[in-house]
Amino acid sequence: EGPGPIWLDNVRCWGNESALLQCPAAPLGVSDCHHREDASVICAAPFLLRLAGGPGRCAGRVELLHAGSWGTVCDDGWGLLDAAVVCRQLGCGAARKALRSAHFGPGIGPIWLDEVKCSGREAALWHCPAEPWGKHNCDHQEDAAVICT
């Protein structure tokens, strides 16, 4: 239980907000709660996504940390909407290019995602429709990459 005022109540986020205060809720400071109802979260590690093998932080092969191992994304169906999610998630601006065929060299480790089909509005790459984690028909010569603005 926390001390002090309860600032938010009846919070109803959609999941695409960039801040908790953007979620619909009761007016700030208006609450019928007690501290025994305090909400909590457990966050995942902050760097579950990276770009590797490229010329800088915002261009490279797409790699994901899952189950303790860094792995890649297959380029089957890979396009600008998928790249847009990656670039936004990394704070790298808009997607300039969605690259295929291991453009920045083949990765190593598991191929975590295949047949990724983002709408472009997802908050994270792993929210996009795709085959189940680790299920693929690819090799590392088909690793996906991006170039962001």
Residue 43 pLDDT grade (very low, low, confident, very high; cuts 50, 70, 90): low
Which segment of 31-40, 49-58, 75-84 scores lowest on mean pLDDT? 31-40
Min mean pLDDT across 11-15, 32-36, 43-47, 109-113 is at 43-47
- Average per-residue pLDDT for the chain: 92
- Give the model's confidence band at 67: pLDDT under 50 very low, under 70 low, under 90 confident, else very high: confident
Which residues, 6 or more positions from 149, have their beta carbon under 8 angstroms from its beta carbon? 58, 87, 92, 93, 94, 95, 96
Report whether pLDDT(45) > 60. no
* Span 74-98, average pLDDT: 97
The per-residue pLDDT for 55 is 96
Q: Three-state SS for 101?
A: coil
Residue 44 has pLDDT above 70, yes or no: no
- DSSP code, position 74: B
Measured CA to CA, the distance from residue 106 to residue 74 in angstroms comes to 11
Percentage of residues in the chain having pLDDT higher than 90: 82
| Domains along the sequence of the chain with CATH | 1-41 (no CATH), 47-148 (3.10.250.10)
Residue 18: predicted pLDDT: 76
- The per-residue pLDDT for 68 is 87
Measured in residues, the chain has a length of: 149
* More confident position, 97 or 47: 97
Compute CA distances 36 → 12, 25, 42, 97, 145, whole Å: 19, 19, 18, 49, 46
